[in-house]
Structure 1
Amino acid sequence: MKRKYIIWIHVAVWILLILNHTVPIFQHNAFHSFKDLPHSFGLFIKYLLCEVGFCSITALCFYSNYLFVAPQLFVKRNYFKAVLYIVLILLALICWRYIVEFWFFKPVLGFDNYRGRPVTAEYYISNIFYYYFPAYFIYGIIYFFAENWYRTKQLEQELQKEQAAAELTFLRSQINPHFLFNSINDIYSLTYQRSDQAPVALLKLSEILRYMLREGKDDFMLLQSEIKYLENVIELQRISAKGNAYIDFTVEGYVGNQKIATLLFIAFVENAFKHGVLTDAANPVKMHLQATNDRLQFTISNKKNNDQKDKTGGIGLNNVRRRLLLMYPGKHNLAINEDAEFYTVNLELQLT
């Protein structure tokens, strides 16, 4: 909470306390010094100023203990300085109370808190020590602990947000080199084979990288932009495979202004391209995206390439699992099913 709001809350609390004390005693005309005065707005102001004076004493006790004693006792563990502050606060309270009662109440308001009785230093000291100090000393300590607990929680939350943001940035930085490495290898193969598709593939890669560099840096992007990105990736794969890649990508439902985590599907797609069979027309890689205004389902399945020597899964799937936990906590369901022949991923997201 911002400091200015805390200050206004304190002001509001003290105003409520003053009014809560003022109204009842004014209604009953409880002060002996004012008993002969008729009820009027002027009398109410006198009562109000008396309560402001009394509250200034309690506020001095409360804030001085909160600001000076509590930090020395519970943070710095400097007990000597804490005791010194307590003695100084007691002296300050005695002096301030004397100023309020004998320099303001009596000459300005005509209010005598002691009905003409003499006041000794012993009475002042004992009254301050036994009445004001214990209660408001405890209140100051309680408030000190409450405020420090709240600040600690805030710092923990801010630290968690910063760590999550840093982790997301790191995870996204892993996506780009991973995809770039695979695509350059494919284009290199086309170039090595002197394929006429090499320039087209290079241009398609340029479009993909333009999206990744300009728009993929954001945490969220329009769903339609992500779909276009996937379509470009698929087309690049088809070019790299010389038209022998059988990939079915269908989109169903409403695709409008929904936003989705940037580059979220690419790990699943790359995994299917890397470990799946793309050349079997009877068992193509199937990708299906179904969307509504607030929900999305993405399914991808591929026939497993059991003859492939490289069985490592890389960082892609672990990466996307972590991103889902950070960006869709409690709002996603990721199911990965694998049997002897097929590998299927089903991802459901709640978008709002």
Structure 2
Amino acid sequence: MTAFFRQIQTTYIYHWIIWIILIFFKLIMDYSVFGNFLLPMNIKLFLISIILFYISYYIFLPFIIRQSPKRILVITISFVVIYVALMIVFMPPLPQHPPFSPKDFPKNERMKPFHNGISFYDICFRIGLFSMIFSTLLFFVDKWMENGKKIKALEFERQSSELKILREQINPHFFFNALNSIYSLSIIQSKDTPRVILILSDIMRYVLNNKSLHKNNLNDEITNIKKYIEIQSIRFNKFSNLNYEFQGNFESYEIEPLLLLTFVENAFKYADLRKGSLDIKVNLNNGLLDFDIRNFYENKNYEKSDDSKLGIENTKMKLNLLYPDKYQLDINDNGSEYKVNLKLQLN
């Protein structure tokens, strides 16, 4: 019962607003013409109108739309023919003479309220016709609005499902690359291996705790990227040309989890630090995130794996799903240098 009243108060609240407006104008018109609100007659008039309206709205029209198109056409034509025939049969005779001459209109003494009440003809054919047309109009407006909400809900569900799949796909790709880094350190028996494992455990905990469809605090995301960079810095400590810079108040914004990490992973995976520097710059200014990454690679040894292509494609799909018209992604490859620039407007 509570849900029913809540539906009346929300979904169909404009019905009541329209009824109130109609009643208000009808009373004002009667008072301005007849000098009387004609309350007894108007109460009957609108009570009958509302009853006929909702009989049509909740019973007749739902029955009609459940039929096949052919049956709808047959029912509609039959109803119109029968309705018009009955209206002609029960139509009262027209007055032989006008109640007043045109020259007397609209003198007040000639404008008298009707005292005949509401006849059977009025109920079936005047009020009924108004209620039928009015209910049909609002019924299909409501259906259109309801279908719009369903379409939005289905679209949101579809995007949520796609996003969940994308997140599940990128996690194994991330862990595979990270484990490769640890494996490289373990082969040379680096004393930094335990520390790298500890850092990786923090990253794994962060990734596994962020499988919901909610965005993460940007500062946490940047911290996670810094930890990954630290792992790779330990791995490539024999090279000095690894540069990274982070500027901005990251605490005030949120971002899709692991959105930037794919580009960082690929840069480290293919970078040849003997040929050139690997540069990572992240700048946040008034909600505009400017992410820039560059690395050099050896062309003869360069061949992108399917995992890397999948990671980049997943990131593009995430951007399209979550940030439509709010980002610009430029990826440039000149044969020896790979550049990625992402400008993303955050809320």
Q: Is 1:62 matched up with 2:57?
A: no
Query: Which residue among 133, 141, 156 is the counterpart of 2:136?
Result: 141
**Equivalences for 1:7-22 in 2 at 5 Å?**
7-22=12-27
Unaligned runs of 5+ in 1: 32-43, 90-110
TM-score, normalised via structure 1 length: 0.78
Q: What letter matches 1:114 in structure 2?
A: N
Whole-angstrom distance in 1 between the partners of 2:12 and 2:330: 50
Q: What letter matches 1:289 in structure 2?
A: V
CA positional deviation for 1:217: 4.1
Q: 1:162 to 1:196 in 2, by over 3 A?
A: same
Partner of 1:351: 346
**Equivalences for 1:1-352 in 2 at 5 Å?**
3-29=8-34, 47-77=38-68, 113-114=115-116, 124-125=120-121, 127-215=122-210, 217=212, 219-241=214-236, 243-244=238-239, 246-280=241-275, 283-308=276-301, 310-312=303-305, 313-352=308-347
Contact 2:270–2:297 (CA under 8 A) maintained in structure 1: yes
Q: 1:321 to 1:140 in 2, by over 3 A?
A: same
Whole-angstrom distance in 1 between the partners of 2:9 and 2:142: 15
Whole-angstrom distance in 1 between the partners of 2:240 and 2:321: 34
Q: 1:227 to 1:140 in 2, by over 3 A?
A: same
CA positional deviation for 1:144: 1.8
Q: 1:192 to 1:248 in 2, by over 3 A?
A: same
Task: Give CA deviations for 1:38-96 in whole Å, capped at 9, x if unaligned.
Answer: xxxxxx5xx3343122011112222212222222223324669889999xx9xxxxxxx
Contact 2:243–2:277 (CA under 8 A) maintained in structure 1: yes
Whole-angstrom distance in 2 between the partners of 1:161 and 1:83: 40
Q: What letter matches 2:193 in structure 1?
A: A
TM-score, normalised via structure 2 length: 0.79
CA positional deviation for 1:242: 5.0
User: How many residues are treated as equivalent by the alignment?
Assistant: 308
Contact 1:272–1:302 (CA under 8 A) maintained in structure 2: yes
CA positional deviation for 1:233: 0.4
Partner of 1:37: none
* Equivalent position SS for 1:307: helix
Q: 1:68 to 1:84 in 2, by over 3 A?
A: farther
> Identity over the aligned pairs, expressed in percent?
29
Q: What letter matches 1:5 in structure 2?
A: T
* Equivalent position SS for 2:273: coil
Whole-angstrom distance in 2 between the partners of 1:304 and 1:226: 27
Contact 1:190–1:198 (CA under 8 A) maintained in structure 2: yes
* Equivalent position SS for 1:61: helix
Unaligned runs of 5+ in 2: 1-5, 84-112
Whole-angstrom distance in 1 between the partners of 2:165 and 2:153: 18
Q: 1:245 to 1:320 in 2, by over 3 A?
A: farther
Task: Give CA deviations for 1:285-318 in whole Å, capped at 9, x if unaligned.
Answer: 1111111132110000111232326432331110
* Equivalent position SS for 2:325: coil
Q: What letter matches 1:307 in structure 2?
A: K
Whole-angstrom distance in 2 between the partners of 1:60 and 1:286: 73
CA positional deviation for 1:189: 3.1
Q: What letter matches 1:10 in structure 2?
A: H
